[in-house]
């Protein structure tokens, strides 16, 4: 990246204070940034960091520009500095990443598969019969798209993504390396002392603008559909079991696991390592804190912590009391009588 401060200001619709001709070649945090780096500052509580930063230019909100003394710093004033920074990061990402172009000669595309305009397929990727790849989608090397599966327009699959049969992705979905969509759900019947597999013949539907991290598994339904709602973002190492329904705009953080047939409303957040039992309902806007174990329904808008998960204020009180137990037990223990 080589941009002047003035060019960056135009890209983010910001007001430049200071030398607009200064050249910027990178992005860094306030403390690490050098004379050719762009950085950002969110609020006036970080003014001390701004004053000591060596950054070539700093994205700041209007209150910071107003509060900061004239100290020679080059600033770009924007309403939302981090959102403005993301515009620049997208530019850097385009320059750094090499996307597949065209159809690689080693790719295997079944004659009945349908590729939209501008589709790119990387080396050794396989597209099975009756699959449909939407216009402008890009698949890196060694991906697999199963029979009758569909990708909407402008999807991006990183290397070694597996999409099994009868899986549907909407528009602009991103799936990171090692993720498997449409593996069999975990279903067995105990018969005569053995675990007999229940065939898993349902589907997976991923709606528009969903991003799924690396090494995730989203299982197909036994019957019907496992569904991920539009705008939902799933972190790395997440397990979504068969027939789970996740609403729009949810955040599912690393190592969370959601058991079969559970339902999450819109805007739900599951923090890291949350476990959700089967057939649970979590209401719109609810939040479950890190390592929460959800064994009963969570009402809409509530914050739950702990294992088993409960309302966070109740969990806090119990934790405080638990820490006091040694002291309380010490006071109530009878001392031995002298012999």
Q: Could you tell me the strand order of the sheet in which 310-311 lies? A: 120-121, 138-139, 156-157, 174-175, 211-212, 233-234, 251-252, 269-270, 287-288, 303-305, 310-311
One-character DSSP codes across 251-302: EE-TT-EE-TT-EE-TT-EE-TT-EE-TT-EE-TT-EE-TT-EE-S-B-TT-
* Residues labelled catalytic: 242
244, 226 Cβ separation under 8 angstroms: yes
Distances (CA, A) of 175 to 156, 170, 210, 262: 6, 12, 8, 22
Q: Could you identify the residue written with the tokens 């702990």? A: 306
CB 135 within 8 A of CB 116: yes
Instruction: For residue 96, give both structure tokens.
Output: 């750094």
The DSSP bridge partners found for residue 191 are 194
């Amino acid at each position: 990246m080589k941009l002047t401060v003035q060019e960056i200001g135009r890209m983010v619709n910001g007001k430049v204070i200071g030398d607009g001709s200064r050249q910027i070649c990178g992005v860094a945090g306030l403390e690490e940034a050098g004379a050719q780096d762009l950085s950002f500052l969110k609020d006036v509580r970080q003014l001390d960091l701004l004053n000591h930063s060596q950054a070539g230019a700093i994205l700041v909100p209007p209150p910071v520009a107003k509060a900061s003394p004239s100290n020679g710093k080059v600033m770009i004033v924007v309403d939302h500095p981090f959102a403005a920074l993301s515009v620049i990061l997208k530019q850097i990402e385009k320059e750094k990443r090499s996307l597949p172009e065209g159809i690689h000669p080693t790719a295997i595309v079944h004659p009945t598969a349908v590729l939209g305009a501008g589709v790119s397929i990387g080396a050794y990727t396989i597209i099975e019969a009756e699959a449909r790849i939407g216009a402008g989608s890009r698949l890196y090397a060694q991906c697999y798209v199963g029979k009758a599966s569909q990708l909407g327009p402008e999807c991006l699959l990183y290397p070694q993504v597996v999409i099994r049969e009868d899986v549907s992705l909407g528009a602009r979905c991103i799936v990171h390396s090692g993720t498997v969509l449409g593996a069999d759900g975990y279903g067995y019947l105990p018969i005569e002392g053995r675990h007999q597999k229940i065939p898993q013949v349902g589907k997976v539907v991923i709606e528009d603008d969903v991003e799924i991290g690396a090494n995730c598994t989203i299982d197909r339904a036994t019957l019907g559909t496992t569904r991920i709602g539009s705008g939902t973002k799933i972190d790395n190492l997440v397990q979504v079991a068969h027939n789970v329904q996740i609403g729009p705009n949810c955040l599912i953080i690393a190592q969370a696991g959601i058991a079969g047939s559970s339902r999450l409303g819109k805007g739900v957040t599951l923090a890291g390592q949350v476990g959700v039992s089967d057939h649970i309902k979590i209401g719109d806007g609810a939040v479950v804190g890190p390592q929460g174990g959800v064994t009963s329904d969570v009402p809409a808008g509530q914050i739950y912590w702990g294992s088993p998960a409960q309302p966070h204020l109740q969990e806090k009180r119990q934790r405080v009391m638990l820490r006091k137990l040694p002291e309380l037990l010490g006071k109530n223990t009878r001392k031995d009588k002298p012999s």
